Amino acid sequence: MDSTVLQEEKRILLFEDSDIFADMVLEFLTALGYTTARAVNGFEGIKAVFTFKPHLIITDVEMPLFKGYQATRLLKSRKSTKDIPIIMFTSLNELKDKFWGNQAGADWYIEKSPENFSELRSKITQLLSEATPTDFVALERDGKRIDDNALIETVNNLLDAKLFQTTVIGMLAELSAKLGSLEDIAKGFFDLLNYICQAEIVSLMIKGADNSLMVYTANIGGFNAVITDDFNAISIADFDNLFPDFQVVTREVKDFYLAGEKKKRIESYIMVPLLVGGEKFATVHIGNSIKEYFSPTIRENMDVFLNAAAPIISNALSMLEMEELQKKTRVAFARYVPADVIDEIIHKSSETASLSETRNLVVFFLDIRNFTKISENSSAQDLVNFLNKFFSAMGNEIIAEGGHIDKFIGDSIMAIFGAPRSLPNAPACAIRAAIRMIRALQTVDTSHLTLPESGLAIGIGINSGECVVGNIGFQDRMDYTVIGDNVNLASRLEGVTKMYHHPIIVSENMYEAAREQFIFRKIDTVRVKGKNNPVGLYAVYIAFAGEEGAADFSEGVAASLVIDRDLLDNYEKGLRLFYMREWETAKTYFNNALRINGEDYFSTLYLERIEEYSLIGEPMDDAVTLTEK
């Protein structure tokens, strides 16, 4: 038997209220050899199934007297009709229609369009070939037991008991997926609520952070201003009674529908709290012009909807509050932390942010030299103005090199390189930042200050090594900071810049990490207070005198970052001989260095030590103990 004969034996029933489109579909199916019949609505379609006995059904979704998914639900629930394939054919190409069709049990969903007739043909052929044969004798016998009243009651019961809750949840899921802002969620919430019940006027009141109250209203029924104001006053009073301890500080109101001209009274009113995790966080207030409108059936439907909507609204509120927190965080940290570091901090989970970790970091301390003397001779307001400009200039250089300003301590700055964001080559970044700060020092306005003769100067100490980094403090006040011996050493290095008369001093760890990128001079080996292991100290320079880059560091403190190449060569030879205890030969090289620059502090320092050792004897080791922190 060929396919044409098979097609002639197949009957297809169409549920379609549009005459024009029904004619197009029936003509198409007839040309394919199918026997067809049409019902103009879902109610007539269900009855036709038991008389026409179709092999396949095509139904529209939106129809009078039972929608397509209602009819499908009934047919798929009965033993005699459940195996008949059903295609939902609609012009509403939306997620909720697919959801309704799937929940009702439809076998396929396709958008209503002549352009899709080819796809429809293929799907009809597939479904007919795969379908379980229908017992049409049992189908006809079942139809004789169904009258109109029984059919209507059965469909309504199926809709209320089986489909409504999943339909509502599907609609809310679609709303949640499409919309992001709390305002958009509120607008969609009102539209859906009006679909669930006749919410002629509704208000959504949400408790926000910092005692803020967000109020969204929808005067869908077009009540006039007097009635609307009365409704809002009652809603606010009920909200206040439910949350007596909630003291509103700020109130934000958004009206989605303006007051209309309707003078009819609100005869029915209800308030429903919204809960998440057992805690009330919002209220919904609904009014209707029909007396005793909120019947048990309507209340049941509303409760299903509101229980499903509550977590969606709560999530939107959380997102709004997170966005506000992010804005505040960006404003608060923008001057002190690079933008990408702010992003990293913001997008860390609260759990991760609360943890501490051990990480290899660079710790950076800066202090203004002679600040006590400066403050004694300047007014408080001039000092504050100066510090703001000073911290701004210095902070910008730290951020430019990827550093994080940990804190301001009086006239000092503590910074970190390598946390919270990992930073490749952090030691070099920290040293570059220090050099940039020395140069930027010349741009800071000090015209209202009384400075010492040496002018405005700073000292910078930098160390690297393992530190504990994370949020440290207690529940009400946490600081993201670092602690550990290497932090203490960095602070000590900043302190000894005064003693060694050089603006940037770094540890041996820093020297080893960045020795190929800058000019270093070892200036001492020290043992800090409370520690036994000696530490090598190094002065940082940016250029050799008379060579490329030196001209940019010719004035003020910046000039101390330029060194003569021959001076450094003689000094390093003298230092090696000093540690070999070859005092006399070492003196020769230190003196050579002083002939190049008679004010070279470090050459003078070692000549003085050689003189001291010649009087009191050689020390047991080469490390100098620092007695001050």
HEC string for 20-51 = HHHHHHHHHHHHCCCEEEEECCHHHHHHHHHH
What is the value of pTM for the model shown? 0.50
The one-character DSSP state at 411 is T
Looking at domain 340-563, its CATH superfamily turns out to be Nucleotide cyclase, GGDEF domain (3.30.70.1230)
Each residue of 123-136: pLDDT tens digit?
999 999 999 999 99
For range 282-295, the mean pLDDT: 89
Q: Give the range with max mean pLDDT: 379-388, 525-534, 549-558.
A: 379-388
Q: Which residue in 564, 558, 343 sits closest to 439, CA to CA?
A: 558
**For residue 477, pLDDT beyond 70:** no
| Region 443-447 average pLDDT | 87
pLDDT at 166 (0 to 100): 57
- pLDDT value, residue 451: 85
Task: Look at the domain 3-169 and name its fold.
Answer: Rossmann fold (3.40.50)
Per-residue pLDDT at 524 = 93
* pLDDT at residue number 351: 45
Stretch 384-412: mean pLDDT: 88
What is the pLDDT confidence band of residue 602, given thresholds at 50, 70 and 90?
very high
Convert the pLDDT of each residue in 2-37 to its tens digit. 444 344 479 999 999 889 989 999 999 999 999 999
Proportion of the chain above pLDDT 90, given as a percent? 36
Say what the pLDDT of residue 282 is: 93
Structure confidence by residue, pLDDT tens digits, 46-62: 989 999 999 999 998 87
Q: What is the mean pLDDT of residues 520-545?
A: 88
Q: Is the pLDDT of residue 100 over 70?
A: no
- Residues 505-525, mean pLDDT to the nearest whole number: 94
- Is the CATH number of domain 179-324 3.30.450.40? yes
175-224 confidence digits (pLDDT tens): 666 556 788 888 888 888 876 777 889 999 999 877 889 999 999 888 89
165: exposed, middle or buried (Cβ count in 10 Å: 0-12, 13-18, 19+): middle
For the chain, give every domain's residue range. 3-169, 179-324, 340-563, 564-629
Residue 480 carries which side chain, given as an amino acid letter? Y
CA dist 84 to 12, 61, 70, 415, Å? 10, 17, 15, 73
- Mean pLDDT score of the chain, rounded to an integer? 83
Q: Percent of the chain scored above 70 by pLDDT?
A: 82
Phi-psi region of 583 (alpha: psi -120 to 50; beta: other; left: phi over 0): alpha
Judge residue 598's burial from the number of C-beta atoms within 10 Å of its C-beta, 0-12 exposed, 13-18 middle, 19 or more buried: exposed
Instruction: Judge whether residue 426 has pLDDT over 90.
Output: yes
pLDDT score, position 92: 47
| Burial class, 383, CB count within 10 angstroms (exposed 0-12 / middle 13-18 / buried 19+) | middle
What is the pLDDT at residue 305? 83
Q: Is the pLDDT of residue 613 over 70?
A: yes
- Whether 627 shows a pLDDT value over 70: the answer reads no
DSSP letter for each residue of 479-498: EEEEESHHHHHHHHHHHHHH
Phi, psi of 599 (to 5 degrees): -105, 15
More confident residue, 479 or 247: 247
Write the single-letter amino acid at 303: D
Of 101-105, 317-321, 465-469, the range with the lowest mean pLDDT is: 101-105
